[in-house]
Amino acid sequence: MKKQKFIKLFLLAILIIPIISACSSETAPYNSKEKLGPQVNYTITGIDAGAGEMSTTQTAIKKYHLGGSNKWQLQPSSTSAMTSTLDKAYKNKQAIVITGWQPHWMFKKYKLKFLKDPKNVYGKAEHISTIVRKGLKKDSPGAYKILDQFHWTPSQMSDVMLEVNAGKSPKTAAKQWIKKNKKTVDRWTKGVNKATGKKSIKLTYVAWDSEIASTNVIAQVLRDKGYNVTIQSMEMQPVWASVATKAADATVSAWLPKTSAKFYADYKNQVEDLGANLEGAKVGLAVPTYMTKINSYNDLKNK
């Protein structure tokens, strides 16, 4: 009896070991000679479900016929979960497809490439707009003017993001950046007197790395000009609603014309758009450059 049991276990082991090692091929490096789909379980590693990029990616899945029998799906998570999955994959040279955007430190830390988008689902370039509540100009002309004059470059925004990624608190990183970039900041505060009487300003944002950077920097600039500034992170839809209902004074995180298009259409008559605070942003699926065969959305199902 005992012997029989041993033989059974032995046979089971012989059966199971190859299965386990087949599964662990998921940790194998990217193999350009094999199809990509099975190497990533047909999965695009995404971010928070409320991000504009997530809905644009759902459109891309339809337009490039990646879904259905082609099995591709978008996995929602969060920015930090996505970047830590990317970090692990990158270290092991594994295949991975992510929802990327620029400016972001991921493009400085890793060698990544955006996939070519011949159907132009994601649009070409994005800008980030500053959106303020109606009446702010009258109630807080100084803060309004600073928000209106706030304008920087993708590389300046990335500098702040990199410091935060390296472990600094967003507030410290913002303060240090402001010190080092006095000329730029002077342009934003030009013609604005220091506020008296501690006027309050509330900014809302989504906790994406790019928006953590911009919101902390502009909040600190306003504080240095005498404003009592609070910042609050939330989902994208409540961010727009907060400015529209005047629960908040402003947000500097409106990615347009595509990424936040839906919210812009819903709220544009209830808010004031102060125009771009940053140009040359970009959104789309990205892969590490070592995935040599994967260069376009069509390659996801074909290669």
Residues that bind ligand PBE in the complex, under the rule CB under 6 A: 47, 51-53, 101, 208, 210, 236, 255, 259, 283
Question: Minimum distance between the CB of residue 126 and ligand PBE, rounded to whole angstroms?
Answer: 8
Q: Which residue, 216 or 259, is less far from ligand PBE as judged by CB?
A: 259
How many separate helices (H) and strands (E) can be counted in the chain? 14, 9
Q: Which residue, 229 or 236, is less far from ligand PBE as judged by CB?
A: 236
Q: Which residue, 66 or 106, is less far from ligand PBE as judged by CB?
A: 106
Q: Which residue, 53 or 272, is less far from ligand PBE as judged by CB?
A: 53
Sequence-distant contacts of 118-121: CB under 8 A, at least 24 apart? 118/296, 118/297, 118/298, 119/60, 119/63, 119/64, 119/297, 121/56, 121/59, 121/60, 121/63, 121/64, 121/297
Identity of residue 239: V
Q: Which residue, 30 or 208, is less far from ligand PBE as judged by CB?
A: 208
The closest of 127, 156, 153, 131 to 144, measured between CA atoms, is 131
Q: Which residue, 177 or 208, is less far from ligand PBE as judged by CB?
A: 208
The closest of 37, 145, 115 to 297, measured between CA atoms, is 115
Pairing type for strands 228-233 and 200-205 reads parallel
Question: Minimum distance between the CB of residue 109 and ligand PBE, rounded to whole angstroms?
Answer: 17
d(CA 155, CA 162): 10
CB 86: neighbour CB atoms within 10 A? 23
Question: Minimum distance between the CB of residue 54 and ligand PBE, rounded to whole angstroms?
Answer: 7
d(CA 244, CA 135): 11
Cβ-closest position to ligand PBE? 53
In three state form, how does the secondary structure of 89-121 look? HHHCCCCCCEEEEECCCHHHHCCEEECECCCCC
Question: Minimum distance between the CB of residue 214 and ligand PBE, rounded to whole angstroms?
Answer: 10
Rg, C-alpha atoms of the chain: 24
Question: Minimum distance between the CB of residue 51 and ligand PBE, rounded to whole angstroms?
Answer: 3
Q: Which residue, 90 or 255, is less far from ligand PBE as judged by CB?
A: 255
Q: Which residue, 5 or 124, is less far from ligand PBE as judged by CB?
A: 124
Question: Minimum distance between the CB of residue 296 and ligand PBE, rounded to whole angstroms?
Answer: 20
Question: Minimum distance between the CB of residue 33 and ligand PBE, rounded to whole angstroms?
Answer: 33
Q: Which two tokens stand for residue 86?
A: 């990317």
Question: Minimum distance between the CB of residue 88 and ligand PBE, rounded to whole angstroms?
Answer: 20
- 302 CB-side CA count, 13 A: 9
Reduced to 3 states (helix: H, G, I; strand: E, B; else coil), residue 234 is coil
